[in-house]
Chains A and B, each alone.
Chain A
Amino acid sequence: MADLTNRRWYTGMLTQEDWWAVWLGVGFFFLGLLNLAGIDIVGFLTYPTKWVFNVPEGGKGAIGHAFYAIGKKTSMVSKEFYKGMGWWSIIWTYVAFTIATCTGAAFMRWNLKRFFIGWTIIYFMTIATWFIGHHGFIAANKINMHKYGLNFALSLGGGGSFILALIVGLIIGNFFKPFAIYLSEAAKPEWYIKTAIVTLGVKLGYLPIKLAGFSHKLGKEAAGLTFDLFIAGAAATIVAYMIFWPITYLIARKMFNLPRKTAAVLGSGISICGVSAAVATGGAVRAKPVVSIMVSALVVVWAVIELVVLPGFFTHVWPKTADPIVAGAAMGMSVKTDGADAAAGELLDEFMRNKIAVESNGTVIWPEGIITASAVMTKVWIDMFIGIWAFVLAMVWVYRIDRRPGETVLASEIWHRFPKFVLGYFFCWFFLLAIYFGPGQGGSADAMPYLKTVKAGAVPIEGPMRKLFFMLTFMSLGIITDFKKLKEAQFGKMVWVYFVALFIFIIPIAMIVAYLFHHGMQIPNIAGYVQ
């Protein structure tokens, strides 16, 4: 049966992952806001903390407390109830998200039985790696390792869990291929990351509220910083677009003699936003779908290589902790696919925050999520722009290069290619900003009780839910990535175009453009307000 999901402007609302990321993210966001009515039904969301086998006397890290319901810390009305939940919060979270994701899978007409089994396996593998990754040896740093009775720790923070999830996924994807194929029905990194990005909107909107709890001035600084990221991200993205695409297209055409359409699809895939750009451009230039499919397979593998290499490079080589926002923005412009980029941004966030805490001996602590946001912001702009870029390419191709008298390029194509999850991201962000500047009175002391209620609803979404969906993304990315694809003969020149364009042009240019637009942006220091 034909899949005409883009027949009309609204027809994909119940059948596309993009929209289901919005429904999941915004749906749980509103469930969280029920706190304003005195009802807390999101406090069950599970969250891990650092643990060790042998807890030192007076120290921290009992295994029994390795997972807890976030409401234990945040709930205004049901704190005692959530305190008793402990590890059972994993099951509550599983039930809630199984209902939500299976509903989405049913509407998207996936194989529900396979999705349910795959989802269940992926969820519990994710929880297991989340648990292992929070062992004190991996997650603690030299500031806090003594509380866990350790004399050495890897200082990876939550990043250790992400790396583990990716490794487990890659092992399945490359050594247990039949199992990976079975899991593929539920290994949906883009769906999970888009959902996580919607909840990142909650994080951005909540940031001024959180920092206002420390000081009125910090709250305002945070609101200003997120707005600066929004503007700088747009400017940097447009500049990068104008440079990346022509360079990659020329490399493909002049150095590697690839056909025009293949060069255009490859140019978009490598230089813009990976698979979505390859698909959009393939359609725009009326290429055979196989061209986009081949480029997509290549993009997915290269994106994972970037995800593994760049966070460490930016943290330890350049720009290090001197310019964390520059690093985040450069990540957003370099790493293709939303999943790999946001995941790399989150990894960078963990690495950078741990590094600055260690370097400054605990006198500088950055709130989490801002570096991730800088990586995602440039990517979101890139995603939004692809519809317009593909529209322009379609006009150039249809009216100039492959002239077809009588064919019309439809303006509705821009909407069909627009990344709908972005709507959820901005909606959550601006909704919370409106609360902060409206009834929250810009973080004034009088409004703090009200803002604390908002916090009780926002934290479970921007914390546990967002982190869980990031973890699911890392695991799923690994499962669907098969490195053998790089060896497949038919890719030939494409692999080399990718290599040359990415490492010689795109990453260095992304770093320069990110520096020009983001240099000097400061992350607020909250060391004086947190233990």
Chain B
Amino acid sequence: MMNIMMDMVIRHDGKNWVVENDKLTLSAPTIDGIDEKVRTFMRQNELVKKGDKSKVRMLFDNSTIPQWIRQYGQHYFNRVIEVEG
């Protein structure tokens, strides 16, 4: 069973990837940039302790995809990244 530490929503605003939840919003032009910012945030706020591992799940916000396309394909991606303390 996957132990998810934090759930976030991921979307694309046309220029940047944006991840957010009720506590924070982060954005970056690449997915790698997003992952780096999430890891930094978690370490700085001690959401993951040194030597520990934690997982963050990013659920794709389907409203990023225009409605007329959603009738053809209704899933872009969900992803999980591991954060080491």
Q: Which of B12, B59, B77 contacts A4 (CB 8 A)?
A: B59
Are the C-beta atoms of A290 and B14 separated by less than 8 Å?
Answer: yes
* A-B CB pair tally, cutoff 8 Å: 112
**Chain A residues whose CB sits within 8 angstroms of the CB of B59 once the complex forms:** 4, 6-7
Are the C-beta atoms of B32 and A416 separated by less than 8 Å?
Answer: no
Contact bitstring A259-297, B, C-beta under 8 A = 1, else 0: 000000000000000111111101110101110110010
**Chain B residues whose CB sits within 8 angstroms of the CB of A12 once the complex forms:** 74
Question: In the complex where A4-B9, A283-B77, A406-B81 touch, is A191 in contact with B62 (Cβ < 8 A)?
Answer: no
**Chain B residues whose CB sits within 8 angstroms of the CB of A1 once the complex forms:** 63
Are the C-beta atoms of B72 and A282 separated by less than 8 Å?
Answer: no
Are the C-beta atoms of B65 and A279 separated by less than 8 Å?
Answer: yes
Are the C-beta atoms of A296 and B72 separated by less than 8 Å?
Answer: yes
Question: In the complex where A407-B81, A408-B82 touch, is A4 in contact with B61 (Cβ < 8 A)?
Answer: yes
Complex interface residues of chain A between 222 and 249 (CB less than 8 A to chain B): none
Are the C-beta atoms of A412 and B78 separated by less than 8 Å?
Answer: yes
Q: Is A480 part of the contact surface with B, judged by Cβ < 8 Å?
A: yes
**Chain B residues whose CB sits within 8 angstroms of the CB of A37 once the complex forms:** none
**Chain A residues whose CB sits within 8 angstroms of the CB of B66 once the complex forms:** 293
Are the C-beta atoms of B35 and A289 separated by less than 8 Å?
Answer: no
Q: Is A488 part of the contact surface with B, judged by Cβ < 8 Å?
A: no
Give the complex CA separation of A278 and B72 in angstroms: 10
Q: Which of B12, B32, B74 contacts A289 (CB 8 A)?
A: B12
Q: Is B76 part of the contact surface with A, judged by Cβ < 8 Å?
A: yes
Q: Is A215 part of the contact surface with B, judged by Cβ < 8 Å?
A: no
**Chain B residues whose CB sits within 8 angstroms of the CB of A277 once the complex forms:** 73
Are the C-beta atoms of A404 and B77 separated by less than 8 Å?
Answer: no
Are the C-beta atoms of A5 and B62 separated by less than 8 Å?
Answer: yes
Q: Is B3 part of the contact surface with A, judged by Cβ < 8 Å?
A: no
Give the complex CA separation of A184 and B67 in angstroms: 10
Are the C-beta atoms of B61 and A407 separated by less than 8 Å?
Answer: no
**Chain A residues whose CB sits within 8 angstroms of the CB of B82 once the complex forms:** 406-408
**Chain B residues whose CB sits within 8 angstroms of the CB of A416 once the complex forms:** 74-75, 78
**Chain A residues whose CB sits within 8 angstroms of the CB of B61 once the complex forms:** 2-4
Give the complex CA separation of A412 and B59 in angstroms: 12
Contact bitstring A140-166, B, C-beta under 8 A = 1, else 0: 000000000000000000000000000
Q: Is the interface of A mostly helix, strand, loop or mixed?
A: helix
Are the C-beta atoms of B35 and A394 separated by less than 8 Å?
Answer: no
Give the complex CA separation of A279 and B74 in angstroms: 8
Give the complex CA separation of A292 and B12 in angstroms: 13
Are the C-beta atoms of B84 and A406 separated by less than 8 Å?
Answer: yes
Complex interface residues of chain A between 385 and 420 (CB less than 8 A to chain B): 394, 404, 406-410, 412-413, 416-417
Question: In the complex where A275-B72, A293-B65 touch, is A284 in contact with B12 (Cβ < 8 A)?
Answer: no
**Chain B residues whose CB sits within 8 angstroms of the CB of A296 once the complex forms:** 69, 72
Question: In the complex where A279-B69, A279-B72 touch, is A413 in contact with B64 (Cβ < 8 A)?
Answer: no
Are the C-beta atoms of A275 and B73 separated by less than 8 Å?
Answer: yes
Are the C-beta atoms of B32 and A282 separated by less than 8 Å?
Answer: no
- How many residues belonging to A are interface residues under a CB distance threshold of 8 Å? 47
Q: Which of A6, A290, A293 contacts B74 (CB 8 A)?
A: A6
What residue of chain A has the Cβ atom nearest to residue B14's Cβ?
A: A290
CB distance from B53 to the nearest CB of A (A): 9
CB distance from B19 to the nearest CB of A (A): 11
Complex interface residues of chain B between 9 and 65 (CB less than 8 A to chain A): 9, 11-12, 14, 31-32, 35, 55, 59-65
CB distance from B40 to the nearest CB of A (A): 13
What residue of chain B has the Cβ atom nearest to residue A276's Cβ?
A: B73
Give the complex CA separation of A413 and B65 in angstroms: 17
Q: Which of A283, A290, A337, A404 contacts B72 (CB 8 A)?
A: A337
Are the C-beta atoms of A407 and B35 separated by less than 8 Å?
Answer: yes
Are the C-beta atoms of B72 and A3 separated by less than 8 Å?
Answer: no
CB distance from A191 to the nearest CB of B (A): 6
Are the C-beta atoms of A410 and B79 separated by less than 8 Å?
Answer: yes
Give the complex CA separation of A188 and B70 in angstroms: 10
Are the C-beta atoms of A278 and B9 separated by less than 8 Å?
Answer: no
Are the C-beta atoms of B81 and A280 separated by less than 8 Å?
Answer: no
Q: Is B5 part of the contact surface with A, judged by Cβ < 8 Å?
A: no
CB distance from A476 to the nearest CB of B (A): 10
**Chain A residues whose CB sits within 8 angstroms of the CB of B80 once the complex forms:** 407-408, 410
**Chain B residues whose CB sits within 8 angstroms of the CB of A6 once the complex forms:** 59-60, 62, 74-75, 78
Question: In the complex where A5-B62, A406-B83 touch, is A274 in contact with B72 (Cβ < 8 A)?
Answer: yes
What residue of chain A has the Cβ atom nearest to residue B12's Cβ?
A: A289
Complex interface residues of chain A between 79 and 106 (CB less than 8 A to chain B): none
CB distance from B2 to the nearest CB of A (A): 8
**Chain B residues whose CB sits within 8 angstroms of the CB of A174 once the complex forms:** none
Question: In the complex where A283-B60, A406-B83 touch, is A5 in contact with B31 (Cβ < 8 A)?
Answer: no
Q: Which of B55, B71, B75, B83 has the most CB atoms of chain A within a 10 A radius of its CB?
A: B71
What residue of chain A has the Cβ atom nearest to residue B63's Cβ?
A: A3
Chain A to chain B: the 4 pairs with minimum beta-carbon distance, closest first: A279-B73, A275-B72, A283-B77, A283-B76
| A contacts, CB < 8 Å to B | 1-7, 12, 16-18, 110, 184, 188-191, 274-280, 282-284, 286, 288-290, 292-293, 296, 337, 394, 404, 406-410, 412-413, 416-417, 480
